[in-house]
A and B are shown apart, each in its own frame.
Chain A
Amino acid sequence: MSTESSSTVARVLKPTILILIAIVAISSRLFSIIRFESVIHEFDPWFNYRTTQHLVKNGFYDFWNWFDEKSWYPLGRVVGGTVYPGIMVTSALIHNVLHFFNFPVDIRNVCVFLAPMFSGLTAFSAYLLTKELKDSSAGLLAAAFLGVAPGYISRSVAGSYDNEGIAIFLLVFTFYLWIKAVKTGSAFFGLLTALFYFYMVSAWGGYVFITNLLPLHAFTLLLMGRYSNRLYVSYSTFCAVGTLLSMQIPFVGFQPTRTSEHMAALGVFGLLQLYAFAELVRGYIPPKQFRALLKGGIVAVAVIASIGLTILSFSGVIAPFTGRFYSLYDTGYAKIHIPIIASVSEHQPTAWTSFFFDLQMLIFLFPAGVYLCFKELKDEHVFIILYSVFASYFAGVMVRLMLTLTPVVCVSAAIAYSTLLDTYLETSEHVLASTKPAIAAAATSAPVVIEATTSDSKATGKKTAAKAAAAAAAAAKSADAEAKTHAKSAASSEKKRFPIFNLDSRLLVILQLTWFLFMFAWHCTYVTSGSYSSPSIVLASRQQDGSQMIIDDFREAYYWLRKNTKEDAKVMSWWDYGYQMAGMANVTTLVDNNTWNNTHIATVGKAMSTSEEVSYKVLRQHDVDYVLILFGGVIGYSGDDINKFLWMIRIAEGVYPNDVKETNFFTPRGEYKVDHDATKTMRESLMYKMSYYRFAELYGSGNAVDHVRNARMPAEGPTLSVLEEAYTTENWLVRIYKVKDLDILGRDLKDSTAFDKGRVRKISSLKKK
């Protein structure tokens, strides 16, 4: 095979492989659609879907100025100014383009399939990025890894219509452009970096990662004494254009100039200018004077900068770090200060096992890849090292940030893997060249090696012998049968020397690596299908006979709300279900997953955790018509509201310490109980009453058992007077209660409920006066 023909083959093969990778990436994300249907998943995607619908229906400017009266009643939400519009605009654009060409695709399908489509692009950008770091074969591996890595699939299966779905593509692509810019020193690539950075800012709050990583890279290069005009041009272009562009997103606004999170970018920008200036000055004055000038200059700049920064921070021009940011340093911070952040499961620290679960063998190859980067240590390798260090830290702190780690793991694992393959598979000149001294060494020690190998196949673990064997192996791969013609002379001589030994060790390693690849693919598919493809609005469970049972209570309840309540009905629920209710039931909600107003959420928490009388006042003040709760006690669904109840109590206590006290919900022995031992406060709380109202009737004669908490419930269930049961779904998963009006005769609702049950008032206190 000639060089020419092999490069032609490669030219055909590479795009084919990339397309195949994209197809694999997309199709492995379609499990949920095949199993269930083309629906939007989870919680946040429902909001994105709803806003996208609004955007498609009413146009961009209406979306931009949308004031949503149906959420956060009665405060409302300025959607245009509190949203990252990237994903909505992207899908609306795709939708409109398709419609322009007369493909009548429903916007729902665009939304459902957006994340898988972008995963194909992500794989492609991983290819580009890795190609810049090593070569195109490593790039192909990285693309394949990122295409199927569960850490990324977890947020990008079909139907998971969330910001991360496109943001990871933008992240990787922006990094690729940045590396390209640093490598070439071209203002054009710097500009492209800024443009994609802008797209990223419009798509995901995680853009802060880029905002800090790129300056850090530039700063590190400065410290390493690698200042160059390339760096200066690329960074200055990126920083100036990128910052200005990012300020065009209303949600970001003036943050880039005012918050601490963004200061690094501006600081490094200033530093680069000073450095460039110093370089310029150095060219014009003698070194001695320059040194004095430099010292003075550094001191002056440091003093001015620190004084300026202090004044600005204290006067409030630059906002201090936000709570979310602190919780990245101290994982216990949120638990104490901001329960609302800590209550979100995806903000919890990552369990060790989930690293393996999400990345499988890549997590082992990852350090090797970083090590190889250290060996090369060009500008772009420094970047990957920084990226991997920081992403690893953040992924350890927060489950959600596994997502930012996954690309760099794939890239460096691909570098490691491809280096291994290069070593064991490829027979090319550069291997020969790099191993020339080794070959020389091997030549001298060859007899020893042969002796060792022949006399005892399991050679003693002598270092020299092992080294020699490695060198021999390195030489061996250059002696492959498919060796290139111009390497023939060297190869043939080697081939003569170790024919069998070479093939064995190579085969061993290669087969093992291939086996790893198979295992990886198998694991990825298994994880994707088993864990990440559940829409979470529809639950599937296995019955005793093994057949599948679909639990569709959520949609049943939302559909009931949609069809049976008046148009402007206000439904209160815990914030987790706000987006789904708005999207599916089209009702007005009090709080939702955009947790911007802690007080309002705490008010809902208070209504849930106080007695009926206190709660009723809150319900009336907020014009609540219905209350919706999740109750898993019947089928054993553990994510129900009683299990989330402690968070409601904690959040409510933060704002209303006089009305709600967490300790009152624990038994004297410090247990959280719902059965006979439940505390009085617990039993009188609205949430408890709503959850277990008429629960005992389901079983009869005191046999009621809560399957989630394994608690035997009292035979006499709670009574409700300010609410009446409106609807309970098939599996009791969702219960909806209607808030009663004030009694027409001015009695309190407890009395009127008692009267309706046939109990008349006994002689009242009036007489005893």
Chain B
Amino acid sequence: MRASILLSTLAMALVAQATSLTGLRTLVLLDTLDDVLIYTELWSDLEGRHFNLTLNDVSTPVSLTKYDRRLYDHLIFLAPNMKEYPKGMNAKEVIGFMAEGGNVILAGSSELANPLRELSREFDVEFDNRYTSVLDHFNYDKELGQAKHDTIVVDPSSHMSKIDAIVPQDKLPGPILFRGIGHSVNPKNSLLTPILWAPQEAYSWESVNLDESADQDPLIAGKDISLVSVMQARNNARIAFLGSTDMLSDAFFSASPKKQGDKETVSGNRKFIEELTKWTFQEKSALDVVAVQHHKVGEEEAPAHYRIKDNMTYTISLAEYHEGEWHPFSADDVQLELIMLDPYVRKTLEQLELNDQSTVGTFTTTLQLPDQYGVFKFMVNYKRPGLTYIESVTTVGIHPFRHDQYPRFISQAKPYYTSAASMGVGLLVFSFVYLWGGLDSTVKTTKKA
């Protein structure tokens, strides 16, 4: 417990400067450095959250790692036209960067070039063909999408996932504007979560020669078009895919979206991007196992091993990171499993009540171990969308009874005890009688003869 307090104070001390859990060094890749001016609001937002931005164009050589250490903590692709990676970088490097814990934001546009397409494909994210856009003749923005109906207004209440850990709906002041390419996600990949998808009436089609008649169905249409998706990799590195670089631009941040026939509203883009980058850059929804304790009921220390049918208490302390600080984590669905090949026990942990001094959320349960010896894994496998995956494994052996832990005398065996005792007594009596009882053996022999 003391260790956990220490840890959290240490974490708090660090947080005084940092808002992201993993670091602040951020590399931004742009098609040309001229594009810097398009995203000034974004830069100021990020720098307001203490990020050190390195703005590079794609022709500048860059390396993400040196001596197997990351040189950056976060990577933003704002270079949809990138035909080749900058020198010193490739798809393998980017995935290696993520494997080392780096986070990535990848934004595309209808001109999205091959390298980033192929990179996304490794994440089971498939962008539509080049020069296609998401078009919608019903939900386009009156002002920005008048010409091609390619700037669509997405209503977060119906077209955004309801995962508050990533983008909480109630924080958005208005609808989200999107102009760019659509993608589809592989539903079999459980790590991948679509955040924003297109309205029912939208479709993905080539946006260059709009006047030509369509002779085939669009590849994707309606709600199958994902606009923004995120993935939290198994090592908890996070990546966000956006089909539109314009979403992050100053123009969209400050726009007043207006659908045909609707009233003018405030753009939710800025808030949406802020929450999305906060999540991606591990500024929130990051969980940590502060402590795991287990012991027999009535004891304090963890034993080297348990015995079958022991009563024991398991406690796990979880903390959640947001707003630059560790807070107690609250949930009612944290489960403990006792696994030896298969789960033998699965039990929901109860959270202890929090008070003002709490720095961690403490989840605990008391249970009786199964009547089965072996090497068991005490596992808390807590994986919820948007939150850091918790997989806490404590391996403990459960031993059978010792030879002196069985009852010494059992009632069922009383007849045997009696017979053994009577035999002993009988032998004594017999010996006594035989030796001194005056039985005359000679009498017998004469009789016999």
Contact = CB atoms under 8 A, between A and B. Distances in A.
Contacts of A74: 340-341, 374-377
A656 B193 CA distance: 37
A681 B124 CA distance: 30
Interface residues of A, dominant DSSP: loop
A591 B49 CA distance: 55
A233 to B, nearest CB: 16
Q: How large is the interface on A (under 10, 10 to 19, 20 to 34, 35 or more residues)?
A: 35 or more
A730 interface: no
Contact of A747 (B124, B190, B374, B400): B124
Contacts of A80: 403
Nearest to B447: A284
Interface in A71-85: 73-76, 78, 80
A623 B448 CA distance: 80
Given A75-B340, A78-B373, A760-B122, A745 B186 contact: no
A708 B219 CA distance: 56
A464 B237 CA distance: 105
B184 A766 contact: yes
Interface in A58-108: 61, 64-65, 67, 69, 73-76, 78, 80
A755 interface: yes
A67 B373 contact: yes
Given A622-B341, A758-B92, A744 B375 contact: no
A67 B397 contact: yes
B340 A69 contact: no
Interface residues of B, number: 41
Contacts of B340: 74-75
A69 B233 CA distance: 33
B157 interface: no
B47 interface: no
Nearest to A623: B377
A283 interface: yes
Nearest to B123: A745
Interface string A116-160: 000000000000000000000000000000000000000000000
Nearest to B124: A746
Contacts of B374: 74-76
Contact of B402 (A65, A623, A769): A65
A746 B234 contact: yes
Interface string B81-120: 0000000000110010011000000000000000000100
A743 B234 contact: yes
B337 to A, nearest CB: 14
Interface in A736-769: 741-747, 751, 755-756, 758, 760-761, 763-764, 766-767, 769
A745 B121 contact: no
B131 to A, nearest CB: 15
B95 A568 contact: no
Interface in B209-258: 219-220, 224, 231, 233-235, 237
A621 interface: yes
B218 to A, nearest CB: 11
A625 to B, nearest CB: 13
B373 A568 contact: no
Given A74-B374, A78-B373, A65 B403 contact: yes
B395 interface: yes
Contacts of A568: 395
Interface in B386-445: 395, 397, 399-400, 402-403
Given A67-B397, A745-B231, A763-B121, 16 more contacts: A67-B400, A69-B397, A73-B375, A74-B375, A76-B375, A76-B399, A284-B448, A745-B233, A760-B118, A761-B121, A761-B122, A764-B186, A766-B124, A766-B184, A766-B186, A769-B220
15 contacts: A61-B403, A67-B373, A67-B399, A74-B340, A76-B373, A621-B341, A744-B237, A745-B95, A746-B189, A755-B92, A760-B118, A760-B122, A764-B124, A766-B186, A767-B184
Interface of B: 91-92, 95, 98-99, 118, 121-124, 126, 184-186, 189-192, 219-220, 224, 231, 233-235, 237, 305, 340-341, 373-377, 395, 397, 399-400, 402-403, 448
Interface of A: 61, 64-65, 67, 69, 73-76, 78, 80, 250, 283-284, 568, 621-623, 741-747, 751, 755-756, 758, 760-761, 763-764, 766-767, 769
